[in-house]
Each structure stands twice: as structure tokens, then as C-alpha cells.
Structure 1
Amino acid sequence: MSTPTEPVDHAQRDDTITVSSYTTVLGRRSLAEADFRAYWRDVHGPLCSRVPGLGWYVQHHFARHHDAHLWPLPDGVERLAGYELDGMVEIGWRDADAQAVFTEASGILFSDEQNVFEETAAYPLPTGSTTLVDRTPDPTPNGADPVDRLHVHLGVRPETRDAVVTTLEEGFRELAGRTPDLLKVRLHPLEPHDNSTPNPPAPGVAHTVPTGRVDLVAVEVAFTDPLARRRALEGEPFRAVNAALAGLVTHVTAFAVTGVHTFVRDGRLTDAGLRGSRVAELITSFAALNQVDDDVRHLMRTGTLPSHPGA
């Protein structure tokens, strides 16, 4: 009889990104939801992917409807009223110099936001985020999320931020050790959102958030499926985590993820970044190996073949 193997932890593969930002997005309500998501994935996404300096770019699309047991709230803590999002964007750089290159060139990107977003709010992460565990094998997912993934936003006060981060880190490390169905935990200790200046500086888009959203800590959590999630969150040690959070947080708001789309990883365009997210999905579903050959990628990137540079 074969012995079950321990799932591989890929957490260290995220260490190449040392500076990042976490941007929440709300699509324009004048757009049909399908059109909004198509534009975000296949028009805005490839444009962002090509801005110089970028090391990592991932879109997480949030569900507008979800199950009734998404996330248990600590005693005395409620979901933030009226807090709705259509997704988030994680952008990262290998260092501050690369971020500066991106910032200098980013006007061409931000001028496009008015076409698709009603609100974007960027939270700086000057020392990056921390992946506590990652048992998902694919480093560049693109498509409907095959796992049960959430983003959880915890409202914090300045004096409780460090305690919240420590509670989450210690609690989820213990939970991961006990729960093989917990596939990923990525912790984002967000800097407070600055309402005094448009961030990001995109014209025609709202960038001001209410008081309850200024100070947040965010965490990405993924389980094998919703039942595994509910079992884990209703048992120990998570109940101890929630008990500790009860006196530290002002609200807890969870968002279910429907799709994850990776456009840049380790400074390199993925097929989604090069061709568009849905085109990349078609290439994969058709097993079109020729479409991911280096010669084809070079042609699509430069308009020339490597063997005919002047063509």
C-alpha cells in the first residue's frame, strides 16, 4: 500500500517580490457584469502587463453572490455595511527601483481605468506580503478558480495592527499544520489608504474610501472546497484565532473569489499577459502547444520571427 505524500509547499516562490500593492476594484455599474470582466481581463490586463518594471500582476475576481457560511465573525464583530467589491489586483516589484520605473510609466495604464472601473483604491505594501503556505501547484493560474478561495478584510485600529498581523500569522501557521485541506494563506499587512491624494492617480475614477476601509489587514485563504473550509473554520484552532481577534478588529468582511488570472510572474509575461486571459484559456483547452512555443511568443511580442528579425 502506498503512503500518502505530504503536499509540497511552494510558499518560497513568492519571495522574489519584495515591494507590492493591493488594489481593490469596483466595476462601473453602467456596464454589464460580463462586459466589465471581459474588458478587465482582456483589454486592461494586457496593457498593465507591459508597463516597464512590473514583476508580478494578478487579478482576483470576486463573486457578487456567495454561500451563507463564507466566514465566521468574531463575537461582537460585524461585516462592514455596504462594503462591496468586484475584485482586487496584486501588483509587485522585485525592489523599489523597479517600482519607480513602473510608476514613471504608469500614466498610460491609469488613463484606461475610467473605461471600466467605478472605484479603485491602492494600498501600499512597501515591504511586501507574506505567503505563509502555498500548496497549489500552478504558479500562474488563469481562469475559473479550481479551489475555494477567499479574501478577508479586517478593519483595524493603528494601535492593534501589529497584534492582528501576529494573531493571523500564528493562527494560520498552526491551522495549516493541522489541516491539509488548507491550501494557501497569503497575508497582506496593508498600509493605511491615503484619501488625501488619488491612489492610484486615475482620472474619472473614485479613489476615496470610508473610514472603515482606511486601515485594513487583508488575507488570502484557499481551501480544497467549501465543506473543508467550513469544517476548518468551525473547529480548533481557528476558534481561538477568532476569539483573539474579537477585541482587536472593527469589522471582518470576506469576499469569495471566482477567478484568478496571472499576467506577469517573476518579471515575465504569462500567456494571459501576452495574448489576453481568455485567449490563453482557449490555447490551454485546445492543447495548442504550438501557440506557446518560444518562436510564437517572440512573434506575438515583437511582430517578427527570431530567424527573420527584419521581416
Structure 2
Amino acid sequence: MVGISTVALIERRVDISRSLFTRYWRDVHGVMAARIPGFASYTQYHVTPIDASAEPFEGIAIVTYRTEDDRAGLIHSEVTQHIHLDEQNVFRRALLYNLEEGASRHLCGNAEAEGQVMFVVVEAGHDSDAALAALNDTAIYLAAYDLRGGDPSRWNLTDAGERIFIALLHGIWPDRDSAIAASRSCDGVAYLLDERHVMVKDGRATPVGLRGLDAVKTIEEAGADNQLTDAVVRAVYGTSAAP
């Protein structure tokens, strides 16, 4: 696990449908964000809370960097001002936590393991270590992000709200039922993964990060594999795509 990271907790605007939020975050906002220099990786997780009355985050993003200097692109790049404005199109809240090295921990397993992905968000006043210990009993992969060192008010132009979140726990379980059972044993709000999209990998935007999933699906459906070659991508986008 790369130690320097940014975690985002995202809530959609109530007047935007879930379908539109998913497509816009992935194919418009995500494609813009993939142009920010310095990202080692950028992954979108589209999620649904297990408890419908819980904190209504529907997006979790994790960005990693090779060095602290690489994170400067998030603040100072030309695209950043446009990212800020674009968030207001579909996000009610976009809480970004810039975490130092050591704020993320890998407890067990492989992040690429097959199974049901689940996140748990722990609010201030609750015990994140106890929640982590409860999940660790059954998870086949588990990582933790300590959000206490991040200050979302330094980024957010949407409605930050008053609640304070201290940890994000990221795990994988053999199946949906075992994930839900694990969520009942911990003190936090649990979210099941619906879609995962890798936008940047190994420092380069993926085809989805360059074009959006709908465009890639259209290319694949037409059998137009030449559209995905590095030569075409470099000519059109000025860069190579991650495999």
C-alpha cells in the first residue's frame, strides 16, 4: 500500500438521480480528475449504505502518490479550479482528507481478492480500533485510513456539514452475506460496493480515465481495438494509457 494518500467521501445532490451521479462522476468528473498531475493511482468506489437512514455517501475515492511533492498537483494544477466548480454540478458534499505517510495501514490480504467489498466510515466519538478489530476476524482483505490528520474544510466548496469522521475501513469478504454480518459487529456506517473504476494506475490514466466507461464500451462493442492502442491515445490525448 502506498502510504501517501487522499481519501474522498462524496454525497450526491438530492436533485440528481443515482444513475446520473454514477455516470457523471465516472465519465465526466473522473475523467477531469485523471488529468491532475502526480497521481500514482486513482480509484472510484460507487457504494450504497447498508442502512438507508445512515450517512448518505455514495462515492468513495482513494488517490495515492509516490511522494508528498506529487500531491501538489491536486492543489496547484490548471485543472484544479475546474474540478472545484464541477463538483457542485452533482455533489452535495465532497470531503477530501489529505493523509500523511503512516495514516494508512494494511492489515491483511490482497486488495485484488475476489469477494464483496465493503467500506466502514467511523464518526468522531466512536472507537475505530474496536471497529477494525471486529472486522479483522472475518475479512480476507482489510486496510484502514486514519482521517484525523486530514482537514476536509481546506478543499470543500460544497456543504461540509458538521459531522466529523475519523476513519475509513476498507475490506473484502467472501460474499455479500458475510460482509453484512461483519458490519453488524462494528461501530460505524457500512457501505457495500456497487461499482469500482480504476481511473489512474501506475501514474497513468487508464482508458476509462481518459475517455470514460461508455466510450470504452462503445469501442469494444465495435471491435475497434486500434482506438485503444498507445499510438492513437498519444496522438489524441498526448499521453499513454495504463494497461
TM-score normalized by the length of structure 1: 0.65
Task: Please tell me whether residue 252 in structure 1 is matched to residue 188 in structure 2.
Answer: yes
CA contact under 8 A between 2:47 and 2:58: conserved in structure 1? yes
Alpha-carbon distance, 1:201 to partner: 4.0
What runs of 5+ residues in structure 2 fail to find an aligned partner?
Answer: none
**CA–CA separation in structure 1 for the residues paired with 2:222 and 2:109:** 28
Of 112, 135, 147, 1:190 maps to 147
Q: Is the 8 A contact 1:41 1:278 kept in 2?
A: no
Q: Secondary structure at the match of 1:54?
A: coil
* Mapping for residues 115-264 of structure 1, pairs under 5 Å: 115-127=89-101, 128-135=103-110, 137=112, 147-157=115-125, 164-165=128-129, 175=137, 182-191=139-148, 194=151, 198-202=153-157, 205-207=158-160, 209-210=161-162, 213-229=163-179, 233=182, 242=185, 251-264=187-200
Shift of 1:98: 0.6
Shift of 1:255: 1.1
Residue 267 (structure 1) aligned with residue 203 (structure 2): yes
For 1:91 and 1:29, the matched residues in 2 are separated by 26
Among residues 236, 239, 243, which one is paired with 1:300 in the alignment? 236
Give the aligned partner of residue 291 of structure 1: 227
Question: Tell me, what secondary structure is at the counterpart of 1:52?
Answer: coil
Contact 1:18 1:95 in 2 (8 A): no
Alpha-carbon distance in structure 1 between the residues aligned to 2:65 and 2:75 = 11
Give the C-alpha shift of residue 170 in structure 1.
Answer: 6.1
How far off is 1:43 after superposition? Answer: 0.5
Identity of paired residues, percent?
A: 23
**Counterpart Cα distance in 1 of 2:97 and 2:148:** 6
Q: Distance in 2 between matches of 1:49 and 1:115?
A: 18
Aligned-residue offset at 1:123? 2.1
Report the counterpart of residue 98 of structure 1 in structure 2: 70
Query: By percentage of residues, which structure has more strand?
Result: 2
Decide whether aligned partners of structure 1 residues 169 and 201 sit closer, same or farther in structure 2, where only a CA change above 3 A counts.
Answer: closer
Distance in 2 (alpha carbons) for counterparts of 1:101 and 1:42: 21
Separation in structure 1 between the aligned mates of residue 142 and residue 64 of structure 2, nearest angstrom:
17
- Please tell me whether Structure 1 or Structure 2 has the larger radius of gyration of its CA atoms: 1
C-alpha distance after superposition, 1:19-65 (max 9, x if no partner): 1121111111112221121111100001000011222211111126x
Distance 2:73 2:108 in 1: 30
Residue 189 of structure 1 deviates from its aligned partner by: 1.2
